[in-house]
Every structure is written in structure tokens, then in C-alpha cells.
Chain A
Amino acid sequence: MRNLKSVLFLAAAAPLALAACSSSPATTSTTDYSAVSMKADQAMATAQQALHTAQQAELDAKASNQQSNQEYQRSLTK
């Protein structure tokens, strides 16, 4: 008898508990993540652009360094 009461209680309470857990907080969370995700995408794009610029600058500097070294080596040739 006692077991039956427990089962009935659980059967009634479980849907309520599930609804409480899944409804309103989930809605709020989705909205926040979307905003954060957009900002993150923008930051990522900015960072990628900066990285690309830095990589290009590094390549340019390396090429310039190589050219300078080559010219210097040539200038040392008798």
C-alpha cells in the first residue's frame, strides 16, 4: 500500500518537475547564447584578420630579410 502511494506520487510529480526544469530557463539561455555567439564570431573574425595581417607582415619581413642578406652576401664577394 505504501509502495503504491509512492508510485502514484511519482507519477503525478514527475511531469511537473520535468516541466519546471526544461521550460523557462531554457528559453532564456538560448537567447543569451545567441548574443554571446554573435559577439564571439565577430571577435573570431577580427582575430583571424589580425592573424592574417601578422602572418603577411611576418612573410614580408622574412622576404625582406632574405633579400637584404642576399644583397649583403653578394656585396662581400670579391
Chain B
Amino acid sequence: MAVERLVNRKRKWRRLGYGKPFFGLLGSLFLIVMPAMAAEFPLAAKQTAVGAVEISSTHEPDTLMDLGRQYDLGFTQLMAANRGVNPWVPGNGRQITVPNFYLLPDAPHSGIVINLAEQRLYYFPPGKKVVETFPIGIGVQGASTPIGVTRIVAKQANPVWYPPVSIHEERPDLPPFIPAGPDNPLGAYAFRLGWPSYLIHGTNKPDGVGRNVSHGCMHLYPEDIERLFREIPVGTQVRVVNQDVKAAWVDDELFVEVHPTKDQGDELAIDNTMTPTAPPVDLESRVTEAAGEKAARIDWSIVRQVGLERTGIPTQVTIRGAPPGSVANSG
């Protein structure tokens, strides 16, 4: 049933023209066989979503982390869409959902927008009608990144890491500094922010991308930070938000995307599955607000299901073609 929904959604995206610009059998084969170019998507004015859900097949001895790297997805994102799959031994020829479909965060489309709840960074290059998006690793429980707006104040290639006092207290074995190189957790590039203790940087442990593993810094796959380092100038605005619910109209249908909680993210990392929890408290108000005058078209049973499942995949919650007022709000 879930696969059927995904296929339907994929068909919808092809129909809308947001998916791959290929048609018929050739397009289908390409979609299944070739890795997605997840980093950059064309972005028209007022566009609210990019990408498409795809289905991929595993090949031994690849792990789910390998697949995540290939498709530019974070660990939690991939596990939330493929619960119960052993990330180390997903098997051979297993169908894996590649959730490469994103509603854009509710924030101005400029500079860098980081949504902690989905462990993802969006970059809107000035003057270009595109959006680039990359998975990130974020802070462990209790070591959250601040929410708000700051700027990139410096760029550093081959940065030296000076562990702050708080980290030294946890790990007295650490040296006073770690020079650039394979042991440096900052990787090959770092952006310094207006918030002195927090960086956007690369990593020497790419499997940490899409997990809660830092002390509040945000880290990207080495190839992603390298690309951003080339593109992003000092002074670029960085807006950090924490939106576990996103809702947006796409071609006259309302889509809702709900992400796992931080606890569930950790559970996915440890148990490879996650315990259902209550939908976000503000789910209905967020959806109602996004729906505006067309709220009567919402199927609230789907909204609740999306809130419970927290797959992180945008799901259509309006009934297609239903005239306003024909669907009761059981809300």
C-alpha cells in the first residue's frame, strides 16, 4: 500500500514536471537505475517543493549509509523511510525508498536555511533559479544549535580544530588542538558563523551525517561542504529553523511532511526502527494555517496518519477534485 502511494506520488510528480525530464520506459528505467542528483533543483518563483520519491535497489555489499551517500541523504532520513532495514546488511536486490522529495522550509528563499528537525541545509544562490539541498549532522540531545539568524563570518580550508573547554571536560584525552588531516573532525572546510561556538563544516566521519552526533555544529558530507565552500561567500545569511511539520500547496494539492523527533532519530540509529509517538501538537494548526480557505478539502485522517508515521516524506492530504465543503473536518 505504501509502495503504491509512493508510485502514485511519483507519477504525480512526473505529471507535474517536477521529476526527471524523461518520459516513458526510458524515463522509468533511468529513474530506477541511476543515482539521483539530489544537490540542486530548478526553482521557479513561488515553487514550494522540489524532487521526487524514488525506489532504488540494494547491491551487496553496500550498506544503507553507502546508499545515503550516493543519493545525498542523511542516515535518519533514509531510516525513517525504510524502517526495520538493517543498515549494515540491507540485503541484495532489496527495494529501498529514496525520499528525495522536499517541501521547502517556511522561511525566505535566500542565503542558507537550515532546518534542524529534518537535518537538512538549503542554499538559495543569489540570482539563480535553483535551490541546493544537503543533509547535515547536528547536535546530540542537550547540545542544540541556536535557532535564529546569523551570517558566515569566515571561510577556512584545512581548519585546525581547537576543542572547546566543554568538550575537553567530557574527553580529557583530547589534545589541545587537532591539525588538519584525516583525524580532524572538521574535515577539509569550515564556515565560521556569527555564533562563535558553532560552525558549518565537513567531517572525517561521513556516517555521522543525518545523525545527532555533534555538540551543536552542523556537518556535511566532504563532497557537499567542498561544493558549498566554492559557492558561498562570506557574509551570506544563515537562518536556522526547527520545523518538524512542513505543509505547502503543490499544484492545487496540499502536502504535509512530518519528521521524526530527536529521540526517534536516536532510536532509528540504535534499534533501526522507531516507536510511534503522538503527532506534533501543532500539526493541525499548521496544516489549517497552510490550507487557508481550502481547509475543507483536507482529509484529516491522512493528516493524523502522516503525523503518527513521521516518515519525513511529503504526503498529499487533500482529496483531489473534491469541491470545497464536501469533506468534513473531523479535526
Q: In chain B, residues 250-306, which have Cβ atoms closer than 8 Å to a Cβ of chain A?
A: 266, 269-272
Do the beta carbons of B205 and A76 come within 8 Å of each other? yes
**Which B residue sits closest to A66, measured CB to CB?**
B270
Residues of B within 8 A of A76 (CB): 137, 205, 207-208, 211, 213
Residues of B within 8 A of A65 (CB): 86, 272
A75 to B205 alpha-carbon distance, docked (Å): 9
A77 to B208 alpha-carbon distance, docked (Å): 7
Q: How large is the interface on B (under 10, 10 to 19, 20 to 34, 35 or more residues)?
A: 20 to 34
Residues of A within 8 A of B207 (CB): 72, 76
Once A and B bind, how many residue pairs between them come within 8 Å at the CB atom?
A: 35
Whether B39 sits at the interface, judged by CB under 8 Å, is: no
Q: Is the interface of A mostly helix, strand, loop or mixed?
A: helix
A75 to B204 alpha-carbon distance, docked (Å): 12
**Which B residue sits closest to A67, measured CB to CB?**
B270
Do the beta carbons of A73 and B272 come within 8 Å of each other? no
Whether A78 sits at the interface, judged by CB under 8 Å, is: yes
Q: In chain A, residues 23-78, which have Cβ atoms closer than 8 Å to a Cβ of chain B?
A: 65-66, 69-70, 72-73, 75-78
Chain A: minimal CB distance from B177 (Å): 14
Q: How large is the interface on A (under 10, 10 to 19, 20 to 34, 35 or more residues)?
A: 10 to 19
Do the beta carbons of A73 and B211 come within 8 Å of each other? yes
Chain B: minimal CB distance from A65 (Å): 8
Given A78-B185, A78-B217, decide whether A66 and B271 contact each other with a Cβ distance below 8 A.
yes
Could you list which residues of chain A lie within 8 angstroms of chain B, going by C-beta atoms? 65-66, 69-70, 72-73, 75-78
Could you list which residues of chain B lie within 8 angstroms of chain A, going by C-beta atoms? 86, 137, 140, 167, 185, 203, 205, 207-208, 211, 213-215, 217, 219, 266, 269-272
Please name 5 further chain A to chain B contacts, defined as beta carbons within 8 Å, in addition to the given A69-B270, A75-B205, A76-B137, sorted by A numbering.
Answer: A76-B205, A76-B208, A77-B214, A78-B203, A78-B208
